[in-house]
Structure 1
Amino acid sequence: MIKPPLPANEAQRLAALQRYRILDTPREQEFEDLVTIARAICGTSMGAVTLIDGDRQWFKSLQGLEGEQTPRDVAFCAHAILQPTRLTVVEDALLDERFSGNPSVTADPSIRFYAGAPLLSSDGYALGTLCVFDSRPGQLARPQAEALQALSRQVSRLLEMRGLRRCIDHHQSEHDWYEARLAEYYVQLEQQNLELSEQTRTDPLTGLPNRRALALALTEAIERGTGVPPAVAIVDIDHFKQVNDIHGHNEGDRVLVELAGVLRAQFGGRGMAARYGGEEFVILMPRTSLAQAELQCQYLRQAVAHLPLGLPLTVSVGLAAQHPGESAQETLRRADAALYQAKTQGRDRVVVAG
């Protein structure tokens, strides 16, 4: 383990931190919400808003763990503030000499993955971080990294707003001006939080809606209950493990992105195509007869087989139409059972659920 050195501007940095008067204050929902969004986007079990004081790391928000503070010498974030303009990512702490002997790595909570985006004061000093971490090694896709940095700017903006609120309390004569500024900050924060929340419904690799977004859309389509019921298809890439094993995960990712492009082109204007997990995708076709849905799935199967990928690629499809009174999960279960039949019957085919 390497003890984090002090920044060259440590005295000025600590003075900036004290200016915010936030250390040892109660937890606040606004900070908790941003940590929740960060964890959802990055897919980690733990996250925090940290502030690095003279000899400690103090948590304004901490999720997935219990505690108020830790010694600065063992804080991942004390390393992260040394690069104020960059995101610090540790994919496997056991392989990083800065952290391999850290008690948070070798003992509970056994941190292996860490990503921290510095929180900057209005004059550019790194006060702490918005960070996410997990007990398993991991990586951040570029959209996840960009979202984490965007959220860190939101935390910094919250710090500024707290300062503005104190000024309002001390300068009642300027109340209207400060309130207008504060309202502007909250409007901007709300809009950006809405945009960031939308990212929790998008698969970062393919850009398609994810499982959560699909579940909401399917439930909404069923609840509408007008006319022809929706049809649902589960699409699975045949022998995808062999693609990863033989050609590598980068090639596997390329296959997923190419298939997502076909799904988006074929179903984007008439329903929804979502990444369900791994090599599985789900297609929602509202107000589509079972016969028409089967035809569209056959077109999809043929289109995939002719993709110019430089390697053979086929898909198996399980298709089901929603029955009256049937829940979204029940419809998906029948489509999944049909997909299983398609695989057992030789793959590269569409099977319709009864």
Structure 2
Amino acid sequence: MIKPSMPVNEAERLAALQRYRILDTDREQGFDDLVTIARALCGTRMGAVTLIDHDRQWFKALQGLEGIQTPREEAFCAHTILQPLQLTVVEDALQDARFSGNPSVLGEPHIRFYAGAPLLSSDGYALGSLCVFDSIPGVLGGQQAEALQALSRQVGKLLEMRVLRQQIDHHRAEHDWYEAHLAQYYQQLEQLNMELSEQTRTDPLTGLPNRRALAAALSEAIERGMAVTPAVAIVDIDHFKMVNDIHGHDEGDRVLTELAGTLRSQFAGRGMAARYGGEEFVILMPETPMQQAELQCQYLRESVSLLPVGLPITLSIGLAAHRPGETAQDTLRRADAALYQAKHQGRDRVVVAD
């Protein structure tokens, strides 16, 4: 393990941190919410808002494990503040000389993956970080990196609003102007949080709704209790692993993106197409009779031959209509069983669940 060095501006940095009067304060929902969004976007079990004091790392927000603070010399974020203008990403801590002997790597919580975005004061000093981490190695995609940096800026705004609130409390009688600006800050933050929350329901590669969004939409369609129950189709690209193995993952991503475009154009306004995971997609067709739903799936299966990918792509599709009394998961399980039958029968076909 390599202990983090001190920033060259350590005295000024600590003075900036003390100005915020935030160390050893109670947990606050605003900070917890930003950690929740960061974890969802990056797909990690753990996350935190950390502040690096003279000899400790203190947690303003912490999710996925318990704790209040750790020694600074063991803190990943103490390395992050040494590069205040960029992310620090550790894909596998056991392979990084700085952290391979770290007690948090060798022992609980067995950190392997870490990504931290520095938290900057209004005058540019790195105070700590918004970080996500996990006990398995990982990577951080480009959109995830941009989102993590955007969230860290929002943590910085929360810090500034705390200072502003302290000033308002002290001068409330003669400083009504501050109240208007504080409300504006909160409105901007709420809007950004709504936008970032929406990102947690969107697949970053295809732009389609993701599994979480599909589950919510299916449950809502079931709860509406219309006369014609919703139909659900699970779509799988046949032999997709061979596309990745032979042509590379970039080509595989292109196939997924092109198929997503076809799904979006065919089902926009008439339901929802979502990426369910890997090469699987799910189509929700509310208030669609089974015969019509099957025709739409057959049309989709035939239309993939027109995708501009230069590869012979086929689809296997399992289709099920929701039954009264079923849960959303029950319907999806029956559609998945029908998909398995389609594969077992030779692929490139639509099978309707019993």
TM > 0.5: yes
CA contact 1:141–1:205 (8 Å) conserved in 2 = no
Q: In the TM superposition, what are the counterparts of 1:40-59 in structure 2 within 5 Å? A: 40-59=40-59
The answer to which of 117-126 and 100-109 deviates more is 100-109
Q: Following the alignment from structure 2 to structure 1, what is the Cα–Cα distance between the partners of residues 70 and 328?
A: 45
- Aligned residue for 1:57, secondary structure, equals strand
Provide the residue aligned with 2:204 in structure 1: 204
One-letter amino acid of the structure 1 residue matched with residue 124 of structure 2 = G
Query: Is 2:21 the partner of 1:13?
Result: no
Q: Following the alignment from structure 1 to structure 2, what is the Cα–Cα distance between the partners of residues 322 and 21?
A: 55
Deviation of 1:62 after TM superposition, in Å, equals 1.0
Q: Following the alignment from structure 1 to structure 2, what is the Cα–Cα distance between the partners of residues 308 and 189?
A: 41
CA contact 2:80–2:129 (8 Å) conserved in 1 = yes
- Aligned residue for 1:100, secondary structure, equals coil
4+ residue runs over 4 A deviation: none
Q: In the TM superposition, what are the counterparts of 1:161-310 in structure 2 within 5 Å? A: 161-310=161-310
**1:161-197: CA deviation from partner (whole Å, max 9, x where unpaired):** 1111111121133341121111111111111111111
CA contact 1:141–1:204 (8 Å) conserved in 2 = no
Deviation of 1:226 after TM superposition, in Å, equals 2.6
State TM-score, norm by structure 1: 0.96
One-letter amino acid of the structure 2 residue matched with residue 324 of structure 1 = P
Provide the residue aligned with 1:335 in structure 2: 335
Deviation of 1:139 after TM superposition, in Å, equals 1.2
Q: In the TM superposition, what are the counterparts of 1:61-80 in structure 2 within 5 Å? A: 61-80=61-80
Q: Following the alignment from structure 1 to structure 2, what is the Cα–Cα distance between the partners of residues 99 and 211?
A: 34
Identity of aligned residues (%): 80
- Aligned residue for 1:145, secondary structure, equals helix
Provide the residue aligned with 2:133 in structure 1: 133
One-letter amino acid of the structure 2 residue matched with residue 210 of structure 1 = N
**1:115-148: CA deviation from partner (whole Å, max 9, x where unpaired):** 1111111111111000000011111222211111
CA contact 2:47–2:64 (8 Å) conserved in 1 = yes
- Aligned residue for 1:111, secondary structure, equals coil
- Aligned residue for 2:284, secondary structure, equals strand
One-letter amino acid of the structure 2 residue matched with residue 156 of structure 1 = G
Query: Is 2:167 the partner of 1:151?
Result: no
- Aligned residue for 1:67, secondary structure, equals coil
The answer to which of 95-104 and 206-215 deviates more is 95-104
**1:72-110: CA deviation from partner (whole Å, max 9, x where unpaired):** 112111111122121211111122222222222122211
One-letter amino acid of the structure 2 residue matched with residue 304 of structure 1 = V
One-letter amino acid of the structure 2 residue matched with residue 34 of structure 1 = L
Provide the residue aligned with 1:31 in structure 2: 31
Q: Following the alignment from structure 1 to structure 2, what is the Cα–Cα distance between the partners of residues 95 and 242?
A: 30
Q: Following the alignment from structure 1 to structure 2, what is the Cα–Cα distance between the partners of residues 58 and 90?
A: 21
State TM-score, norm by structure 2: 0.96
Provide the residue aligned with 1:103 in structure 2: 103
- Aligned residue for 1:171, secondary structure, equals helix
Q: Following the alignment from structure 1 to structure 2, what is the Cα–Cα distance between the partners of residues 172 and 309?
A: 64
Deviation of 1:225 after TM superposition, in Å, equals 2.3
Q: Following the alignment from structure 2 to structure 1, what is the Cα–Cα distance between the partners of residues 246 and 296?
A: 31
One-letter amino acid of the structure 2 residue matched with residue 176 of structure 1 = D
Q: Following the alignment from structure 2 to structure 1, what is the Cα–Cα distance between the partners of residues 10 and 109?
A: 29
One-letter amino acid of the structure 2 residue matched with residue 267 of structure 1 = F
CA contact 1:119–1:155 (8 Å) conserved in 2 = yes
- Aligned residues: CA RMSD: 1.5
User: Gaps spanning 5+ residues in structure 2: where?
Assistant: none
Query: Is 2:350 the partner of 1:350?
Result: yes
Deviation of 1:299 after TM superposition, in Å, equals 1.5
One-letter amino acid of the structure 2 residue matched with residue 278 of structure 1 = G
Deviation of 1:290 after TM superposition, in Å, equals 1.3
Q: Following the alignment from structure 1 to structure 2, what is the Cα–Cα distance between the partners of residues 214 and 68?
A: 37
User: Gaps spanning 5+ residues in structure 1: where?
Assistant: none
Give the number of equivalent residue pairs: 354
CA contact 2:258–2:308 (8 Å) conserved in 1 = no
One-letter amino acid of the structure 2 residue matched with residue 42 of structure 1 = C
